[in-house]
A = this chain, B = another copy of it.
Amino acid sequence: MSDESQELGITETKSHKPGEWYAEVVQKANLADYAPMGGFIVTKPRGYAIWEGIQDALDTRFKETGVDNVYFPLFIPESFLEREKDVVEGFDPEVAWVTQGGHEELEERLAVRPTSESIIAPFMADWTRSHRDLPLRINQWCSVVRWEATETKPFFRTKEFMWQEGHTAHADDEGAWEEVWTRLDQYEEVYEDVLAIPVLRGKKPEHDKFPGADTTTTVEALMPDGKSVQGATSHNLGQSFADAFDITFADEDEEEQTAYTTSWGLSWRAIGALIMTHSDDQGLVLPPTIAPTQVAIVPIWQADTKDEVLEYSREIADELEAAGVRVELDDRDERNPGFKFNEHELNGVPLRLEIGPNEADDGEVTLVHRPDNEDSVADREGIVDTVEDHLDAVFDKLYETAEENLEENVREAHSPEDILGTIGKHGGYVKTPWCGDQACEEAIKEKIAAEIVMQPLEDEGGQSAGEVPEPEREECGVCGEPADEIAYFAKSY
């Protein structure tokens, strides 16, 4: 047998080799494995449980705000993809095509959905007859396939990925904007309140919008290695899909009008951001809000104290479980406490309760936080409240660390050298005035693979049109020409 305690150790470090470290955490914490085909992964129970937690948090919010779940076919006929020209241009290079069914060649190729606007829009057209049918809000949880030839990075870059895609139709532009912001708010909330990851809200530059969209809004999260992750996007599609697929309705005066549509999605990339943000050289770190196991109880016994310690531990486990805490009593005989400590650390269990004969005799428990190993002793009495307080404390520590990282890493720069130098030295975001010309982004991208990941939005008042505030200086940080927009440059996942 292999030396299993060796297997628990993460050998790479987050600071020196973040890519290798990440891959190791994913595998050793049993989140995912690589599939035999490049670009695909197998999501294991611990990884899938995190996805279920994210699904649950979002799905509840969607349902509370008028969204119904549906399921559309996995395949989209080629002729449907072609009906919206930006979609076909945007996705055609990365579509996986089904060409054979059984032993027969298909007459028309079927795309494995890269996103479902083109199959959903014709049904929206069918279901939308009167203004009373609007707003129409549907969502599906599924996987999509995009055949990109890049190195596999579990949850961040895979040819097939899990996501949800929401699709809505509205009577007017205002309704569509309201929808866009509702969903962006919910994404922000799930990132911040559930995943303990603060995000920046913004929009993508024109040249980086979703194919066919008027505006693509985004929540961006800054990773500790200085790169930005696009956390989720919410698109105002204007009337482009409604025009292409005849989504019209009779208004209150029985006049035919064209609808406005939106779409919005969050993928399992959120799991990637979660791992990357909080985890460390001992393995996975998870905020208690999403951790499948929130508390691991490790009893520490000798032969003569085993019964007493186990009974005491079991009572505490039962009490916590009854209160809704996700607790695991680790009473395995074949492992010693040290091994168990390491394993729960590796697996990202936020709080460990250590219970030996002293604790049992004194009516106490020792509590140890992940990741900083802060430990304290508390009374057995009131254990539920105590544990909940400690779980909150762990959440707060994780959130604060991530927030500090974000706050310290938004810098201004006003020349190409300054932009390149700042990102090169610190990573993070560089905020600069921008003339709006894609060539200026290219000039930076060629040198250090940083791009415009987002443009900030006006405050709430102006948000309804997705406007970007004007910069204080008025010269583009790259070319020096007049600039009336602000752009955030960063390297990104």
Binding site for B on A (CB under 8 A): 1, 33, 35-37, 40-45, 48-49, 51-52, 68-75, 77, 80, 92-103, 109-110, 112, 119, 122-123, 126, 129-130, 132, 138, 143, 145, 147, 149, 159-160, 162, 250, 334
Min CB–CB distance A81 → chain B (angstroms): 12
Contacting pair B42 A71 (CB below 8 A): yes
Q: Which of B72, B102, B147, B162 contacts A94 (CB 8 A)?
A: B102
CA distance A72 to B49 in the complex (A): 14
Contacting pair A250 B43 (CB below 8 A): no
Min CB–CB distance A245 → chain B (angstroms): 12
CA distance A202 to B490 in the complex (A): 62
Given A44-B70, A48-B69, A69-B52, verify A126-B33 contact (CB < 8 Å): yes
Q: Give every chain B residue within 8 A of A149 (Cβ-Cβ).
A: 102
20 CB contacts below 8 A, A to B, read A1-B130, A1-B250, A35-B73, A37-B75, A42-B71, A42-B123, A43-B70, A48-B70, A48-B71, A51-B71, A74-B74, A93-B103, A94-B102, A95-B101, A96-B102, A96-B110, A98-B98, A99-B100, A100-B109, A102-B147
Q: Which of B45, B96, B109, B130 contacts A101 (CB 8 A)?
A: B96
Q: Give every chain B residue within 8 A of A45 (Cβ-Cβ).
A: 68-70, 138
Q: Give every chain B residue within 8 A of A98 (Cβ-Cβ).
A: 96-99, 112
Interface SS of chain A: mixed
Q: Give every chain B residue within 8 A of A102 (Cβ-Cβ).
A: 92-96, 147, 149
Contacting pair A100 B110 (CB below 8 A): no
CA distance A256 to B109 in the complex (A): 47
Min CB–CB distance A45 → chain B (angstroms): 3
What would 17 more interface pairs be, CB under 8 Å, given A95-B101, A99-B99? A1-B250, A33-B126, A35-B72, A36-B77, A37-B75, A42-B71, A45-B69, A45-B138, A48-B68, A48-B71, A74-B160, A75-B96, A92-B102, A96-B98, A97-B99, A101-B159, A102-B149
Q: Give every chain B residue within 8 A of A70 (Cβ-Cβ).
A: 42-45, 48
Min CB–CB distance A343 → chain B (angstroms): 14
Contacting pair A101 B147 (CB below 8 A): yes
CA distance A122 to B74 in the complex (A): 25
Q: Which of B80, B130, B145 contacts A74 (CB 8 A)?
A: B145
CA distance A234 to B52 in the complex (A): 25
Min CB–CB distance A435 → chain B (angstroms): 33
Central interface residue in A73, A94, A99, by most chain B CB within 10 Å? A73
Min CB–CB distance A6 → chain B (angstroms): 15
Contacting pair A36 B74 (CB below 8 A): no
CA distance A364 to B308 in the complex (A): 59
Q: Please provide the 8 A-B residue pairs with the shortest distance between their CB atoms, ordered closest to farther.
A: A45-B68, A101-B147, A43-B71, A97-B100, A40-B73, A102-B147, A99-B99, A35-B73
Central interface residue in A48, A77, A93, by most chain B CB within 10 Å? A48
Min CB–CB distance A234 → chain B (angstroms): 21
Q: Give every chain B residue within 8 A of A44 (Cβ-Cβ).
A: 70
Q: Give every chain B residue within 8 A of A97 (Cβ-Cβ).
A: 98-101
CA distance A93 to B101 in the complex (A): 8
Q: Give every chain B residue within 8 A of A143 (Cβ-Cβ).
A: 71, 74
CA distance A182 to B255 in the complex (A): 59
Q: Give every chain B residue within 8 A of A147 (Cβ-Cβ).
A: 101-102
Q: Give every chain B residue within 8 A of A74 (Cβ-Cβ).
A: 74, 112, 143, 145, 160
Q: Give every chain B residue within 8 A of A48 (Cβ-Cβ).
A: 68-71
CA distance A147 to B42 in the complex (A): 25
Min CB–CB distance A230 → chain B (angstroms): 21
CA distance A109 to B95 in the complex (A): 15
